[in-house]
Structure 1
Amino acid sequence: MDLATLRALRPTRYTDAADGYRAASGMASSARERIDDEIARSMRQSLKGEAATEALGQLQALSGNFHYVQVECGLAATALDAFAHEMTAARRKLEAALEDARAADFTVGADGSVTYPAGGGESGGERPHGGSAAGLTDPTAAALGRQAGALDPNPAHRRAQDIADRIAAALQDATEADEKWAPKLRALKADDDLTVSAGDWTDAKKDTEGVLEGAAGYLDSLPHPPAHGTPAENAAWWTSLTDTQRADYLSVHPDTVGALDGVPAGVRDEANRTLLSEARGRAELDYDAWLRAHPEPERYTDYFNPMTGTEMKGVTVESQAWKDWKEARDDARGRLGSMEAIEARFDSYADESTRPYLLGFDDKDNGRVIVSVGDPDTADNVVTYVPGTGAGLSSVDGDISRAELLQDQASVVDPTHRTASIMWLGYDAPQDLMGDATDAKYADNARDSLSSFLTGVDTAHHGQVNSTVLGHSYGTLVAGETMRDHPDLPVDHAILVGSPGVGVNHAKDLNIPADRVWAATAKNDLVNLAPPPAGTLAPLNPKAYMRLFDDHSIMYGYDPTSDDFGGQRFKVADGKLPGSDGPMPAHSQYWEGASLTSMAKIATGGTP
């Protein structure tokens, strides 16, 4: 970058280009929303058959393509804004140096050197000669140049050297910005095909990381979200940003924006949908690699009569090798299948009241997912379901289905009000009953996160909202500890089903009126046998057997269905017997029949 080029450069041309890409991103977003919210939804409501199914599949692919365009154009806009920001700073540095040169009657050459006149006190009848100073950016050379200027009896030398160095620094800044952003912008060029593949989404993640790294200086100039901010502080930060700042921050920090409690649900959904698409792309590539590394063995093998040991002609059975391979394949595909199940909900809802919002997503470790069925920012009732032991990304489909069942039933029992039903897996849930679930640390680590989320729902809501927390299994302990430790939590009702205890002995300790705390446990739910913690000497500790002699002491405080707890109870079916359909079928039957209806009535402010 030379002096003439930098002087002629107009950063506004790049901000104008950024506006163009941002507009393209917005148009792609609008097109995607129109496909999802209008065209596809209307088709699902009115058309059936193979042709309709095929057309919907093509619309879903088109929606995904628009989403990709939205993300990539957003990144291009942010990159151009960052480039313009850096070039603006370099030009300002250059113009300030040139202005100082003009003020001192110095001449600036095309190469950035500065010529200065004779000046200073006479010595031997002569004034010190003038000269020329070349800009230096190497620290050692620059130090020597400044030293030479300081020793020159002509004071103009010292000033000219400073101006020349500033010009050189400005040119160097501009050159570095140009060299940095040229390849990053070229990297944003998409494949020349019409298919947005898993590889494209993986590249989008790399593109985001590249732009984020390059735009650090520009992003630092924007207002930052508050560190560990409250939902109200998060909301205030988002409101304070201009539309351009919001778009730029969202394009490179979807993980940050998507996790900010208090920010509008639509914004969080947009951010997390990007994270989901990128994660799904990675998972699909990983699964394809697994398939290549583990070729499918022969599925069928000859059958031998176990009694005689002779081969049965014409009879085959599935081989053990194939069964083992299938089990490993299903395990390798588990997380990908769960991500597909989440995305399928965006491709299948038929009514705006059941539109899904992805309010949280993280595929690290066991995974965290928060999905709202219906818009929590405008709903009259919001019920937040906290799942328990075994919950994670690989099994999230069933938990989201429970939220859908509750939302559907709420619309039946209270059709005049809107209900949003949220599945909140915003914590690391214990994964096994006999080990993890006997430790309260998972709930201890979750209570502040759940409190912030519930407060954020209230903060982002456009008016008054009736809020209910629904805990199941270990999730009741998470809900109970959260309510216990946050007395100002904006919660109106609590529902506790299949509970091993909620961290308190009395309903009043949950900081809402006891008559708004509702609990139920099915007769055949094995959680009824959960004893209090007995320590390492369990067989010798009388506390381990206390549950046999009273009706209130269980693992984490009093049984919320007992008289001693002091809350309300509602009836549920006995449930299936242990072992009749898995080890604990009754523990998962609360989203059926009268139990589901009762929970819907409570969540909408009624009485079961």
Structure 2
Amino acid sequence: MNLTDIDAWDADSLADLASGLEGMLVAHRVRDLQRRLAALRVAARDDELQVRADGEIRAAVAVADGHPLQRQISELSAQASELIAEAVLVGAEFDHARASVTAHVSADFRDNVTRVNKDWRNLCSGGQAEIVKNAPELIANLDGIPAAVRDVANRARIDTERRRLQDDSIRIQQELQREFFGGRLSNTGAGLWYAQRKLEDLDALEELLREDADFVLVMMDMRSGERGFAAVAVGDPGTADHLSVTVPGLNTNVKDSMRGMALEARRLRDEAGRQLHTAGRGHEKVCTIAWIGYDAPQMTGPGKFDVGRASLDVSRGTKARIAADALSSFFHGLRASSVKDNPHFTALGHSYGSLATSLALQRNGYVGVADVVFYGSPGVRAREESQLEVAAGHVYVMKAEGDAIAGFGRFGGDPSDRSFQCLSTRSGYSPDGIYRERAFGHAEYARTGDNGELRMTGYNLAVVIAGLPERAVLA
């Protein structure tokens, strides 16, 4: 083993999910070794010293005993020896992880998420704590890691991500100053606009998390998309008996939408819990999750034609197909990291998010969803429950009066015209004797009415989440 072997390692090949948590941890160690080796070489070059492959540090000319450079050579030699000694240990781990990638490259997607969870559980508590403290970015958004752990890791990353985005903003501003016409003839300005929006996303998340101790930051990704991604749970997904994931559509983003979605999720959680209590099942726990894990079509942006771009995006399925893979992985990760034997999952798709949800349920094997509700849907890619791997009678649709998006039928037709069960959106009394206002238009489904109670649509969402669909009010 020598220093050139460290150079030859390809850490990126191990960062692939197929290698599981083991590969990601080894990749982190390899990158750390490579970073330290690069720093050693820079320090040597500054003093006109050579670093040989075997770790020997040589000066270009003879150095007399007692010369200050001798101390530097001694210190750098010790660092090089330490790197080689660590590399011997990491090398064995690297070879094992690389073999694991080859062995599992064709493994089922569900198996990969399960392996991540198994790898995590096999780590001692000290090893887990070390990763959360020293390398939270490795696990913060890794499906299969328990949500409570991801929450700690993501909160720890907020300041780091903010500094990175601030540095990006400064760098882009400097580039704009160097460009002709201030960047008007390039896309550099767009990069600055998106970096600034992500900083606003971080501020909004931090403020939201201060509002309620029950909020769990399951995901925070400020790198993968044009806008920031996040998922906020109300309650602990790992210990819940009933879980729901809400996927939004057009114009939703973390800064402008996450707080409203999280508060709606909290109201749905509370109502589902109340319904379970009246059913004599008050011991069962409910967790509701607001998921913005993709670049939803946006009407606003850095360009002059963003309205047209959004219209094009929302009339096509490209963004929904990208979202589907991420959402499918998210569901698999929730199931793999649950301590419950068979938690009850409900998928809630609103607007364009209903298309993404319908596609996710058909990706990467059975994701374990028992009930699905599409509301305000412009269309879904399914004609019957079996295509979504859901039992007959467990796919529901809501279409409110005045909702111009629902029934648009752009993606496979109007879901309310299918064999799916249609739930009421009208005002009236729910089976628990509470008057529920109607939902009108595209945005009121999960909101409360003027009387402070969930509308009929929100009530229907809550009883389905609670696994009490027999209490739902049909259209």
State whether TM-score is above 0.5: yes
C-alpha spacing 1:528/1:496, structure 2 compared with 1 (3 Å): closer
Structure of greater Rg? 1
C-alpha spacing 1:217/1:569, structure 2 compared with 1 (3 Å): farther
Verify the 8 A CA contact 1:504 1:558 in the aligned structure 2.
no
Which one of 456, 460, 473 corresponds to residue 351 of structure 2? 473
Which one of 401, 406, 422 corresponds to residue 569 of structure 1? 422
Runs of 5+ consecutive residues of structure 1 not aligned to the other structure: 1-77, 87-135, 143-168, 181-214, 291-329, 531-553, 575-583
Which one of 347, 368, 384 corresponds to residue 490 of structure 1? 368
CA distance, structure 1, for counterparts of residue 88 and residue 247 of structure 2: 40
TM-score, normalization by structure 2: 0.63
Which one of 399, 420, 423 corresponds to residue 287 of structure 2? 420
Which one of 255, 279, 283 corresponds to residue 394 of structure 1? 255
Verify the 8 A CA contact 1:266 1:357 in the aligned structure 2.
yes
Match in the other structure for 1:376: 237
Match in the other structure for 1:236: 118
Residue identity opposite 2:149 in structure 1: V
Match in the other structure for 2:11: none
% identity of equivalent residues: 26
Match in the other structure for 1:326: none
Which one of 457, 460, 465 corresponds to residue 595 of structure 1? 457
Verify the 8 A CA contact 1:514 1:568 in the aligned structure 2.
no
CA distance, structure 2, for counterparts of residue 484 and residue 557 of structure 1: 15
Residue identity opposite 1:342 in structure 2: L
Question: Shift of residue 137 of structure 1?
Answer: 7.6
C-alpha spacing 1:137/1:398, structure 2 compared with 1 (3 Å): closer
Question: Shift of residue 337 of structure 1?
Answer: 4.3
Verify the 8 A CA contact 1:430 1:436 in the aligned structure 2.
yes
CA distance, structure 1, for counterparts of residue 290 and residue 87 of structure 2: 35
Verify the 8 A CA contact 1:506 1:558 in the aligned structure 2.
no
> Which structure exhibits the higher relative contact order, with contacts defined as CA atoms closer than 8 Å and separated by 6 or more residues?
2
Verify the 8 A CA contact 1:372 1:423 in the aligned structure 2.
yes
CA distance, structure 2, for counterparts of residue 220 and residue 371 of structure 1: 38
Verify the 8 A CA contact 1:514 1:566 in the aligned structure 2.
no
Match in the other structure for 2:266: 404
CA distance, structure 2, for counterparts of residue 289 and residue 444 of structure 1: 33
Match in the other structure for 1:451: 328
1:83-482 counterparts in 2 under 5 A?
138=52, 173-176=77-80, 230-281=112-163, 335-349=198-212, 355-364=214-223, 365-395=226-256, 396-415=258-277, 416=282, 417-432=284-299, 433-463=310-340, 464-482=342-360
C-alpha spacing 1:523/1:460, structure 2 compared with 1 (3 Å): same
C-alpha spacing 1:242/1:515, structure 2 compared with 1 (3 Å): same
Q: Which has the higher helix share?
A: 1
Verify the 8 A CA contact 1:219 1:249 in the aligned structure 2.
no
The aligned length equals: 341
Question: Shift of residue 458 of structure 1?
Answer: 1.1
Question: Shift of residue 427 of structure 1?
Answer: 2.0
CA distance, structure 2, for counterparts of residue 174 and residue 587 of structure 1: 66
SS of the residue aligned with 1:434? helix
Question: Shift of residue 494 of structure 1?
Answer: 0.3
CA distance, structure 1, for counterparts of residue 88 and residue 153 of structure 2: 22
Question: Shift of residue 412 of structure 1?
Answer: 2.4
Question: Shift of residue 512 of structure 1?
Answer: 0.8
SS of the residue aligned with 2:246? strand
SS of the residue aligned with 1:527? coil
1:513-592 counterparts in 2 under 5 A?
513-528=391-406, 530=408, 554-562=409-417, 565-573=418-426, 586-592=441-447
TM-score, normalization by structure 1: 0.50
Residue identity opposite 1:360 in structure 2: M
Greater shift, 225-234 or 405-414, is seen at 225-234
CA distance, structure 2, for counterparts of residue 472 and residue 216 of structure 1: 51
C-alpha spacing 1:221/1:362, structure 2 compared with 1 (3 Å): farther
Residue identity opposite 2:156 in structure 1: T
Verify the 8 A CA contact 1:507 1:560 in the aligned structure 2.
no
Verify the 8 A CA contact 1:363 1:393 in the aligned structure 2.
no
1:452-501 deviation line (CA, Å, top 9, x unaligned): 21111111111121110000011111111111335522111001100111
CA distance, structure 2, for counterparts of residue 367 and residue 570 of structure 1: 33
SS of the residue aligned with 1:414? helix
Question: Shift of residue 528 of structure 1?
Answer: 3.7
